[in-house]
Amino acid sequence: MKKKFVTWTLVLYVIYGLLLGLYFFQWSDIGVPPAYEGTAADPATFMTDKELELTQEYSRYQNFLSFLGEPLEWIIYLGVMIFGASVVFRNFGERVSRFRIIQIPLFVLLLQTLTTILLFPIDYASRWLSVEYGISNQNFSSWMRDELIGFWIGYIIMALLITVLYFLMKKFQKRWWLIAWVLMIPFMFFMMYLQPVVIDPLYNDFSELQNKQLEEKILTLAEEAEIPAERVYEVNMSEKTNSMNAYVNGIGSNLRIVLWDTTLNRLQENEVLFIMAHEIGHYVMNHLYWNLAGAIIAAFLGLFLTYHLLRYATRRWGERLGFTKVSEITSLPMFFFILTLLSFLSSPVELAVSRNAEKEADEYAIEMTQDPKAAIGSFQELTVNGLSDVHPPALVKYLRYGHPTMMERIHMLESYQDINVKEE
């Protein structure tokens, strides 16, 4: 079984990598569709030849690397079971303590550590590309610090969730998935409330926006949208990246309007206001809560399907893989394998919903600011600084993009501008 797994994994992964290479470097059309040539959405109108070349190179390499890494997590989970690592982890936990409340978090730690180490080359290669192409200016020690923070935050949350989940599996063999889903709902709200004030500051330094005139204008936009914000926050990202961003997150008293300092440094004031109007649009149209509702529905379906697939896998292969019951902690790699696979299969639908929400926020922002020139300029600057591909291959768009492509977004804004000119 082990030999077959290694052989088939290597053969299929090599074939997969070759097909990816052909798709991204040979078969994908990187040109601009004739209908967009010469428009504001055509990168040739706002990028130099060198910038355009770098954008095409960077996008291809990052997309290739991203898709190359996609199946690795599945392979790791299968390998952990087939090679008996899950049994080794379980036995180690049982030697450390006879209490499941110790054994389960320890198993999660060992599994997460192994997964992180094996995926590290892909993560590092992605970081290296970002540095080489001038997107990231974060030094290695700072990057590793963020990686370690992310690792321990992820571990604490995951250990808590998995410990509760496996206690439910043991006590409620047929309804554990439903009880787990009910418990997850308040947990999701809690995490949304906690994120801006506890987790985000672990990565970056936040302060009140220094430009008080700009803050007043942003708060005026927020007041028009009935957002209960008293200040705008600025986050120091220029020491890590040249990319730009802004967002509104959190709920209740922890709601935050945040601007990256790179956005403030590179965009004109009216362009910043358009970007903030876009983020305010998400709040006005309740996209934060719709996203939460979507996550709750997805969690219900995911846990329901995982329950049935995990039972089937346990009956069919469990004994050979180190578990005879779903509630045994050695089934965790199979649980993760099923859940991540379902997440991948559902991602096209989730991303389509996200792209529609982003389109609505763009439309809201242009109606609010009535400044198409600033809107177009902001997206063009975002494209240049992030080396964003304005017209990515279809595979990338439908499996990676939670926003409309920059070509689609800029074209929409230019169309809005043309309509206004005709009306005048």
* Contact by Cβ (8 Å): 141, 135: no
Q: Is the pLDDT of residue 338 over 60?
A: yes
Q: What is the pLDDT of residue 86?
A: 95
* Contact by Cβ (8 Å): 414, 39: yes
- Is 358 a known ligand-binding residue? yes
* 51: its two tokens: 């910038």
Q: What is the pLDDT of residues 2-17, one digit of tens each?
A: 889 999 999 999 999 9
Q: Is the pLDDT of residue 273 over 70?
A: yes
Q: What is the pLDDT of residue 417?
A: 64
Q: How many CB atoms lie within 10 A of CB 421?
A: 9
Q: What is the pLDDT of residue 329?
A: 96
Residue 405 pLDDT level (bands cut at 50, 70, 90): very high
> Exactly one of 73, 271, 279, 408 is catalytic; which is it?
279
Q: Which residue carries 């009140």 as its tokens?
A: 208
Side chain identity, residue 58? Y
Q: Between the ranges 25-29, 240-244, 334-338, where is the mean pLDDT highest?
A: 334-338
Q: What is the pLDDT of residue 34?
A: 86
Q: How many CB atoms lie within 10 A of CB 318?
A: 21
Q: Is the pLDDT of residue 321 over 50?
A: yes
User: Could you tell me where the beta strands, DSSP code E, fall in 120-268?
Assistant: 206-208, 233-235, 246-249, 256-260
Residue 402 C-alpha from the chain's centroid = 9
Q: Is the pLDDT of residue 423 over 50?
A: no
Q: How far apart are CA 183 and CA 161, in angstroms?
A: 10
* pLDDT over 90, % of the chain: 71
Q: How far apart are CA 98 and CA 118, in angstroms?
A: 29
Domain ranges of the chain: 2-203+287-423
- Is 278 a known ligand-binding residue? yes
Q: What is the pLDDT of residues 58-71, one digit of tens each?
A: 999 999 999 999 99
Mean local confidence (pLDDT), 204-216: 89
Residue 247 pLDDT level (bands cut at 50, 70, 90): confident
Q: Is 215 a catalytic residue?
A: no
Residue 227: phi and psi, rounded to 5, are -90, 125
Q: Is the pLDDT of residue 413 over 50?
A: yes
Q: What is the pLDDT of residue 123?
A: 96
Q: Where are the alpha helices (DSSP H) in 23-99?
A: 49-69, 72-82, 85-96
Distances (CA, A) of 161 to 76, 78, 88, 180, 367: 21, 21, 22, 9, 43
Q: What is the pLDDT of residues 84-133, one digit of tens each?
A: 999 999 999 999 999 999 999 999 999 999 999 999 999 999 999 999 99
Q: Is the pTM of this model over 0.85?
A: yes
* 392: its two tokens: 């990515």
> Exactly one of 234, 271, 328, 362 is catalytic; which is it?
362
Q: Is 279 a catalytic residue?
A: yes
